[in-house]
Structure 1
Amino acid sequence: MDRSTALQKIRKCLALARSANEHEAAAALRQARKLMDAYQLSELDVSLAEVSEAKIKASASRQPALWEAALANLVASAFGCRLFFLMPANASTVGAYWQFIGIEPAGDIAAYGFSCLLRQAKAARRDYLATALQRCRPANKTRRADVFCQGWVGAVARQLGEFAQPSEAQSALLTAYIDQQNAITRSLTARDRNARGAANRQDLVQGHLAGRAARLHHGVARDTQARHLEFLSQDK
């Protein structure tokens, strides 16, 4: 048995230790302690095993669009996750990723939710480019489409805000997990194509109206009692 497998077994034992049957609970607790001693695992090690990571491919390799970064941040915050933008190690490597770190199963849920919403936002963007912006110059098309997407994200933000935030204990655990990784991080500056000019308010309004079509609903998985999402908008 390797360390990872031992951690999973310990977590199962600790879950059984909450049994109403005192004999079963005591036996499970003894087994958990035995495994922790055998593999030299601390209580913090066991707690950190509850943290999971999930990655979703980003649209840009170096500097994501402001609206995409805003969407990723919204989803991460809604599910109590920490968000990182993982850039390629060198210029020859293609692709970057959004990484969601959360207490299981929040990381996987956030990554899944973000991938669905990102796909929907891009579909709405394509439709807007092909209709309302079809006669614009290429440079203006991209800039105005970004404003549309910002409005779209703003509309979705209200729905994401309905979900619970992490407790102080969970936040502390995430901080401990990230510190343990010894990762080198720095602040991300997203790409704002409208930084030097006034945004078209009509694009923002149209984006907001389109974003209101995205519907997010709470759900509960029967086997794990884990919170998950159903994305019921027209996912293109």
Structure 2
Amino acid sequence: MDKKSAISKIRKCLALSKSANEHEAATALKQARVLMNKFGVTDSDIQIAEIKEIHAKASAKRRPADYESGLAMAMAEAFGCEILFFPSRTSQGQWTFVGEEVSAEIAKYAFTVLLRQLKSQRLRFIEEQCRYLRRASKTRRADLFCDGWVRMVYQTAKQIAPERKSDALGAYMRKQYSDIEELAGRDRNEGRDFSSQDHAAYRAGREAGERVKLHHAMHGTSTPPQALLGAN
């Protein structure tokens, strides 16, 4: 048995140590302590073992658009996770939601579904509101629409965010990613002067984003991810 297998067995023993059967609980706790001493497993190791990394494809190889980064961060915060981006030279980059397994799965699901919905609404906005604009103007207006959309989804997400992320997650991030660099998103509108039509595009995005519903998910819930989202 290696350390990883030992940690898995220790976690099972610790779960059994909460049994209503006093003899079973005492035996399980004793076995857990024996294994921890034998394999040099600490309480921190047990905590960190609860943390998982769940991956989702990004839309860009190296620098996703600012609105996509914002959506990923919003969903991570809403469900008590950390978010990482791993670039690629040959294919799509990868978002990684780090957290307790159920929370990370829900965050990834929410991000994937909402990003697909956002892209669909972005295309519709371009077709309906930007049909006769130059390509650069279409991109600018559509990005502003998306920024407004994400901002409102983020405001909704903050209302259901847990008070703080788990201590286990903090310990995991310090151990695995202490030297990680902050992602620089791709804001194609940075430094621009906006017209009244540009501001109108942003407001349209906010109005559309306000119709997106995120339902509260308790930490460690077994609620299916599909039940945590609703959108009009």
Tell me, yes or no, whether TM beats 0.5: yes
Aligned residue identity for 1:136: L
- 5 Å matches for 1:17-36? 17-36=17-36
Q: Contact 2:67/2:146 (CA < 8 Å) preserved in 1?
A: yes
SS at match of 1:161: helix
Say yes or no: does 1:196 pair with 2:191: yes
Name the counterpart of 2:204. Answer: 206
SS at match of 2:14: helix
User: Considering only aligned residues, what root-mean-square deviation do their CA atoms show, in Å?
Assistant: 2.3
Name the counterpart of 2:169. Answer: 174
TM-score, normalised via structure 2 length: 0.87
- How far the C-alpha of 1:166 sits from its partner, in A, is 5.1
Deviations 1:97-130 (A, max 9, x none): 1111112322222111111111111111111111
Q: Distance in 2 between matches of 1:180 and 1:219?
A: 27
- 5 Å matches for 1:71-150? 71-88=71-88, 91=89, 93-150=90-147
Deviations 1:179-234 (A, max 9, x none): 3225642222211111132341110111111112222223579xx74455422226
Name the counterpart of 2:70. Answer: 70
Q: Judging changes above 3 Å, is the alpha-carbon distance between structure 1 residues 109 and 225 closer, same or farther for their aligned structure 2 residues?
A: closer
Q: Distance in 2 between matches of 1:220 and 1:45?
A: 24
Q: Contact 1:79/1:164 (CA < 8 Å) preserved in 2?
A: yes
Report the count of equivalent residues: 227
Q: Contact 1:87/1:97 (CA < 8 Å) preserved in 2?
A: yes
Q: Distance in 1 between matches of 2:171 and 2:38?
A: 23
209-218 vs 75-84, which moves further: 209-218
SS at match of 2:133: coil
- Gaps (5+ residues) in structure 1? none
Q: Judging changes above 3 Å, is the alpha-carbon distance between structure 1 residues 24 and 219 closer, same or farther for their aligned structure 2 residues?
A: same
TM-score, normalised via structure 1 length: 0.86
- Gaps (5+ residues) in structure 2? none
Q: Distance in 1 between matches of 2:33 and 2:173?
A: 26
